[in-house]
Amino acid sequence: MALYAAYAGNLDARQMARRAPHSPLRATGWLIGWRLTFGGGQVGGEGALVTVVEAPEEPGSEVFVALYDVAPGDEAALDGWEGVPLGLYRRVRIRVETSEGPMTAFTYVLDDYEGGLPTARFLGSIADAAESAGAPHDYVMQLRKRACLPG
């Protein structure tokens, strides 16, 4: 099984159960030295698309993630949901700090430029997913307070 780190809507276990039904939640953790951002301008119907980028020059940057053991049959489906066949996202290997120690996983990063704003609805859905996965209150509130487009 591959280990997948979800940082946006897939933090919601119900959503992951629909997208990758044979892939259980294993742990939660942090991408240290990374930040959550948006890119692709207005590619999506919900404004800019969510992604993560390395941010070693920004002390304290971290992104909350949920780690899933992805079954082989669910990998292709998850790639499809994430837009890999369309060239929107690509897989990268990352290191996740967990209470069980560091783990290596894959995640998806936007294959486009950084910039643009998400809609309020999209940003709210990411914050809701983070909250449902047990992200700390201050992390969820930072998400809810980010700049966004109306709608």
- Residue 59 maps to a domain: yes
Q: What is the mean pLDDT of the chain?
A: 94
Whether 103 maps to a domain, the answer reads yes
Do the beta carbons of residue 120 and residue 48 sit within 8 Å? no
Number of domains in the chain: 1
Residue with token string 């920004």: 58
* Residue 150 belongs to some domain of the structure: no
Its domain, for residue 74, covers 2-144
Q: Positive or negative CA dihedral for 148, 86, 54, 13?
A: positive
pLDDT, tens digit, 9 for 90 and up, residues 53-80: 999 899 999 999 999 999 999 999 999 9
Catalytic residue among 82, 100, 114, 131: 82
Query: Of how many residues is the chain composed?
Result: 151
Q: How far apart are CA 126 and CA 49, in angstroms?
A: 11
Closest of 65, 70, 111 to residue 92, by C-alpha: 111
Is the pLDDT score of 44 beyond 70?
no
Domain-located, residue 151:
no
Exposure on the CB side of residue 125, measured as CA atoms within 13 A: 13
Confirm whether 57 is a catalytic residue. Answer: no
105 within a domain of the structure (yes/no) = yes
Which domain CATH number covers 39? 3.10.490.10
- Flag whether 149 is in a domain: no
